[in-house]
Structures are given as C-alpha cells and as structure tokens.
C-alpha cells in the first residue's frame, strides 16, 4: 500500500480510494434528471444509467476505485480577451486529459510492488467510464459539488479533471481532504453568469442549453439557436460558470495573454490557427475539423459583440 501511496503522490496533487463504495447518494437526482430529458441527446447516459448507480453494478468484480484529480494546464488560466476573439475552454488546453490520466495511472501501475495487485485487471477510466464521477470523487473527499454542478476542491477550485482506476483487489479506503463546508453558501454567481440560462436551478443543469453541449457534444441539437443568440464567442466548450466562481480566483497564467494558446483572433488567419491548434490541444480532436470551422464561420458571421460575463467585474478569476 505504501508503494501505491508514493506512486499516486507523484502523479496527482490529490487523490483518494473508495473501498466497495455503496450506491451514490445522488442517484435519485440523476434518474430524475434523465427522466425529464435534461440530458438531451446524450443517449449513452441513458443506456448506462443502471450501471452508474454503484461500482459493483457498473463493473462486477471490481472492489476498489482509485481516483485522482489533474488541474488544468497552467497555460490555460488567461482571462477572456474580449471582442474579436473566439475562445477555447480551459480544460482543453494542452494534452488531452484522457491521455494525461492514462499515462499517469500507467506509471502508477509500473511503480507499485507487483505483489500488491496479484492477478488484477486494472481498468483506467478517465471520464468515459459508467461512473458518476463527481459524486464518487465527492465520496472520496476530493471536493464538494457546487451550484454550477461542478466539483470544487478546497485548493484547486473547480478547474481540474477527474480520472479513475478500477481494481479487483480490495484496498483500504483513503479519503482526501473533503471541503470543510458548503462551498457556495449564499453565492449564486454561476447561475447568473451563464450566457444561455442553462441552470434550471442550483445543482440542476439543462445540458441541452449548455454551450459545452452545443459546441462539442451535440451542435446539431440547437433548436432555439442558443449558440448564436448567446453572443458568447466559445469555439469549443465554455467556462463562464467557473470564471465567476470565487473558488477559482487568483490563478496566475503561465504565459502572457497575447501568447495564450486558447484564443483565436477572428481575423483572416483564424482558419489556419484553428488547424494548428488541433495539434496542440489534444481534446480539440473530440470535434471534427469541419465542425470547428463551421462554428468559426458562425462566430464571424454573427456580428455579435461578445459580452464576457463575469470576467473581472464580478470577481471572476483575477489573474
């Protein structure tokens, strides 16, 4: 167990282990959310819903869930540049986080004592497992759910991704540092800052209205034309409900704003830049090039004066 702890410490700034975890307490919320169609056309959530209730139902034979968090690439923390630019969500900057987790957990496995996991068949599942990752990570003490439905960590705010490794070997539980209190209290900045009004209420997001859904997951499912009418210049994903969150304040960008790799000036070089950025930001390949270029065209043609709610004036990330 010591060798696993050491290996996890080397890869993740915070991590936890759940041993034979019980069903996630928020299961009924999830089912209610699905039954009201708030997941839109994310059919995989519906198909795998029964498996998401607990580790044992999702992955029979697996007893331990090792979870780690990886903060966003430090080049991502530049503030929004204002009119005339398209923006790429911060989680997509740099190497794709699925790959980062796969490499990190693979290194963990290579470093631990071979006697620790005899005959195990580890499964590395960053994001794509049939797991309610935020609820499970909360159970592992890696933060608490905010009203924007993202997990908030006491040190890293919400700007991190979550990855899981499933093991058949029973391991002792290891809880990280749970948020000592409700992270939100009377705050509701994220609910107000959302450019498409995607929050039905605190803790309940209508995915069909979220710009992340409308630019990455299901751009064809935009009956109300929200992507365009929002006037918000997101090319890929969206971060507004994180920018305004006080728990994300005070991060220093690693590169000056002019060199930030997450902005695309909406000028005649934009198309070439987007083609190049696909090689730099691994997650951008989750959207086809033609989809990105058509969104670029939409932003150029919209003539909108993109407002940047939250940046600066409401105490968003101060950089």
| Collapsed DSSP state (helix, strand, coil) of residue 68 | strand
Q: What is the DSSP string of 18-36?
A: EESPPPPTTHHHHHHHHHT
| Collapsed DSSP state (helix, strand, coil) of residue 89 | coil
Q: Which is nearer to ligand SF4, 65 or 214 (CB)?
A: 214
73 a catalytic residue: no
Q: Which two tokens stand for residue 268?
A: 């005649």
Q: Which is nearer to ligand SF4, 276 or 315 (CB)?
A: 315
The piece of 11-19, 24-32, 116-124, 257-265 that touches ligand B12 (CB under 6 A) is 24-32
Q: Which two tokens stand for residue 306?
A: 């993109």
Cα 23 to Cα 55, 80, 193, distances in angstroms: 8, 40, 33
Q: Quick one: how far is CA 32 from the chain centroid? A: 22
| Window 199-218: contact mask with ligand SF4 (x via CB under 6 A) | ------x----xxx------
For residue 71, state whether it binds ligand SF4 (rule: CB under 6 A). Answer: no
Binding-site residue total for ligand B12 (CB under 6 A)?
A: 36
Return d(Cα 18, Cα 65) in angstroms, integer. 5
Strands 123-125 and 85-88: unpaired
Rounded least distance, CB 135 to ligand B12, Å: 4
Q: Which is nearer to ligand B12, 89 or 124 (CB)?
A: 89
Q: Which residues bind ligand B12 (CB under 6 A)?
A: 24, 26, 29-30, 33, 42, 89, 91, 126-127, 131-135, 145, 148-151, 158, 160-162, 203-205, 207, 210, 212-213, 217, 237-239, 241
Positions in the binding site for ligand SF4 (CB under 6 A): 146-148, 183-184, 187-190, 194-196, 198, 205, 210-212, 238, 240-241, 244-247
């Amino acid at each position: 167990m010591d060798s696993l702890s050491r290996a996890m410490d080397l890869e993740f700034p915070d991590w936890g282990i759940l041993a034979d975890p019980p069903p996630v307490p928020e299961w009924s919320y999830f089912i209610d959310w699905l039954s009201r169609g708030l997941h839109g056309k994310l059919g995989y959530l519906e198909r795998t819903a029964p498996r998401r209730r607990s580790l044992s139902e999702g992955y029979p034979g697996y007893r331990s869930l090792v979870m780690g968090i990886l903060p966003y690439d430090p080049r991502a923390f530049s503030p929004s540049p204002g009119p005339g630019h398209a923006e790429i969500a911060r989680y997509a900057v740099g190497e794709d986080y699925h790959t980062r987790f796969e490499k990190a957990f693979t290194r963990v496995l290579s470093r631990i004592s071979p006697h620790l996991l005899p005959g195990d068949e580890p499964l590395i599942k960053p994001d794509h497992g049939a797991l309610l990752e935020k609820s499970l990570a909360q159970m592992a003490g890696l933060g608490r759910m905010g009203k924007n439905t993202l997990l908030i960590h006491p040190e890293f705010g919400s700007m991190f991704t979550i990855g899981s490794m499933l093991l058949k070997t029973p391991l002792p539980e290891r809880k990280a540092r749970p948020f000592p209190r409700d992270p939100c209290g009377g705050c509701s900045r994220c609910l107000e800052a959302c450019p498409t009004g995607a929050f039905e209420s605190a803790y309940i997001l209508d995915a069909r209205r979220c710009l992340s859904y409308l630019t990455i997951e299901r751009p064809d499912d935009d009956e109300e034309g929200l992507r365009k009418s929002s006037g918000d210049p997101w090319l890929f994903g969206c971060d507004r409900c994180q920018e305004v969150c006080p728990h994300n304040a005070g991060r220093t960008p690693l590169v000056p704003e002019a060199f930030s790799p997450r902005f695309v000036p909406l000028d005649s070089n934009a198309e070439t830049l987007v083609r190049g950025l696909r090689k730099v930001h691994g997650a951008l390949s989750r959207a086809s090039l033609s989809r990105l270029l058509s969104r670029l065209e939409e932003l150029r043609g919209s003539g909108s004066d993109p407002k940047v709610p939250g940046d600066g004036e409401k105490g968003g990330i101060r950089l």
